[in-house]
């Protein structure tokens, strides 16, 4: 059996994605999970690519003074957390730095106006929604880091307590065809279980807790018990969120993001606003009372139905169901402000072209990936927009994920 090569290297930088960066003796870049800049480590090369390698720490030769013991027994096996070896203050500093570096390196913005990161109210037990994969035994777990398969878990420190009380009792028949199980806890403390499958037949499901259960199959959703939606409250406003719809998993931070948008958006009672990638209407619901016209665009049919319910009281709101890049050419409005909240991949070229053709005075861009934000920011700044501010929000402590809200104006 051939052994993977090992080397003693210095870790000199960080990447967006949770890894530290070092260089092998031949100068090749290697990405190393769970490392800290400044450490000297013995690293095993576990994956060779043409331009870089991936490594695994076998031994920490010179540990960083800031390294701490992780809380979870599954850390470094489970792929859910990346920063438990750092204090929360150091996690925040690292995320702030990564946003700055991504804007400089990818966005080509020399002095990006990155504001102080907004920390999470809770460092632990903050997630109101968790998606579990199932092991070959039908028990809940998460994907293994750097390897195929699911690790069965005995503990998890990210879900809120109500979810942690339920998931240990979950066990599915491996033959039932369930791929993943999601659990969401609403603001009313009601639990909603989603059984995600690539088959059409719903399995039998029993629980020792009072829960709603929805089967999310290839031929549509089947309600097995209770309600097929959760009620999520943000700034004293209730939102209907169906089992298949997305909603922010950290509610206090969702409130902080809404407050930030409202504090920075430049609208009057005569304004027209386009809310692209509007989801179930988190931002639209707070903007609609302030403007003359609001246009929402959403691709997901589930989220669109929720949006219609959540915005039903407003007569100045219209909703287009479809891809943003396909809907933009159909719009006959001239918005003063466009709100963008694209998926991780960022803006499609057609969607970006549509935004630029609208020539709004202000663009508010909500991003969950600083690298694609940086790419899109470069396109906007070369099209006549000034980047006024970038504010990072930490919705996902213990992980590398970062949300940002950027304001562009012309």
Residue 198's pLDDT is what? Answer: 81
Residue 294's pLDDT is what? Answer: 98
Higher pLDDT, 360 or 1: 360
Residue 147's pLDDT is what? Answer: 74
Assess whether pLDDT exceeds 90 at residue 171.
Answer: no
Assess whether pLDDT exceeds 90 at residue 52.
Answer: yes
State mean pLDDT over 302-324.
98
Assess whether pLDDT exceeds 80 at residue 394.
Answer: yes
Residue 209's pLDDT is what? Answer: 72
State mean pLDDT over 158-183.
91
The pLDDT-based confidence of 298 (bands split at 50, 70, 90) is very high
Assess whether pLDDT exceeds 90 at residue 94.
Answer: yes
**Signed CA dihedral, 124, 125, 130, 133: sign only:** positive
Kind of pairing between the strands at 229-234 and 237-242: antiparallel
The pLDDT-based confidence of 173 (bands split at 50, 70, 90) is confident
State mean pLDDT over 110-126.
97
Assess whether pLDDT exceeds 70 at residue 13.
Answer: yes
Single pTM value for the model: 0.94
Nearest Cα to Cα of residue 114 among 392, 347, 356:
392
Percent of the chain with pLDDT over 90: 87
State mean pLDDT over 251-261.
98
Spatial distance between the Cα atoms of 103 and 374, rounded to a whole number of angstroms:
5
Assess whether pLDDT exceeds 70 at residue 98.
Answer: yes
State mean pLDDT over 101-112.
95
Each residue of 194-248: pLDDT tens digit?
999 888 788 877 666 789 999 998 888 889 999 999 999 999 999 999 999 999 9
The pLDDT-based confidence of 331 (bands split at 50, 70, 90) is very high
Assess whether pLDDT exceeds 80 at residue 1.
Answer: no
Assess whether pLDDT exceeds 80 at residue 261.
Answer: yes
Residue 205's pLDDT is what? Answer: 73
C-alpha 28: how far from chain center: 31
Q: For the chain, what is the radius of gyration of the CA atoms?
A: 23
Assess whether pLDDT exceeds 90 at residue 170.
Answer: no
Residue 243's pLDDT is what? Answer: 95
Structure tokens at 273: 């606003």
The pLDDT-based confidence of 270 (bands split at 50, 70, 90) is very high
Assess whether pLDDT exceeds 90 at residue 369.
Answer: yes
Mean model confidence pLDDT for the chain: 95
């Amino acid at each position: 059996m051939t052994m993977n090569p090992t080397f003693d290297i210095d870790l000199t930088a960080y990447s967006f994605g949770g890894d530290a960066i070092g260089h092998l003796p031949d100068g090749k870049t290697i990405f190393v999970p769970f490392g800290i800049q400044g450490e000297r480590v013995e690293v095993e090369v576990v994956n060779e690519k043409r331009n870089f390698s991936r490594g695994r720490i076998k031994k920490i030769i010179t540990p960083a003074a800031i390294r701490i013991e992780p809380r979870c027994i599954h850390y470094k096996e489970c792929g859910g957390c990346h920063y438990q070896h750092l204090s929360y203050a150091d996690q925040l500093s690292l995320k702030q730095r990564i946003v700055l570096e991504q804007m400089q390196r990818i966005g080509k913005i020399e002095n990006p106006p990155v504001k102080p990161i907004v920390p999470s109210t809770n460092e632990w037990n903050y997630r109101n929604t968790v998606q579990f994969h199932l092991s070959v035994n039908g028990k809940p777990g998460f994907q293994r880091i750097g390897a195929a398969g699911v690790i069965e878990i005995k503990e998890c420190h990210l879900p809120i307590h109500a979810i942690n009380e339920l998931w240990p009792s979950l066990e599915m028949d491996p033959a039932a065809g369930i791929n993943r199980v999601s659990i969401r806890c609403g603001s009313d403390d009601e639990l909603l279980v989603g059984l995600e499958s690539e088959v059409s037949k719903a399995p039998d499901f029993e629980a020792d807790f009072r829960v709603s259960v929805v089967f999310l199959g290839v031929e549509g959703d089947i309600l097995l018990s209770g309600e097929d939606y959760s009620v999520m409250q943000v700034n004293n406003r209730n939102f209907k969120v169906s089992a298949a719809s997305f909603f922010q998993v950290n509610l206090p931070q969702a409130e902080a993001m809404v407050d930030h948008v409202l504090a920075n958006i430049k609208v009057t009672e005569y304004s027209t606003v386009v809310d692209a990638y509007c989801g179930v209407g988190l931002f639209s619901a707070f903007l609609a009372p302030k403007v003359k016209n609001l246009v929402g665009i959403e691709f997901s049919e589930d989220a669109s139905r929720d949006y219609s319910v959540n915005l039903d009281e407003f007569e100045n709101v219209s909703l287009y169901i479809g891809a943003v890049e396909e809907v933009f050419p159909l719009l006959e409005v001239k918005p003063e402000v466009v709100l963008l909240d694209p998926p991780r991949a960022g803006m499609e070229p057609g969607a970006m072209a549509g935004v630029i053709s609208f020539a709004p005075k202000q663009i508010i861009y909500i991003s969950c990936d600083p690298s694609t934000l940086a790419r899109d920011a470069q396109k906007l700044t070369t099209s006549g927009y000034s980047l006024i501010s970038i504010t990072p929000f930490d919705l996902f402590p213990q992980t590398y994920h970062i949300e940002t809200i950027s304001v562009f104006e012309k």
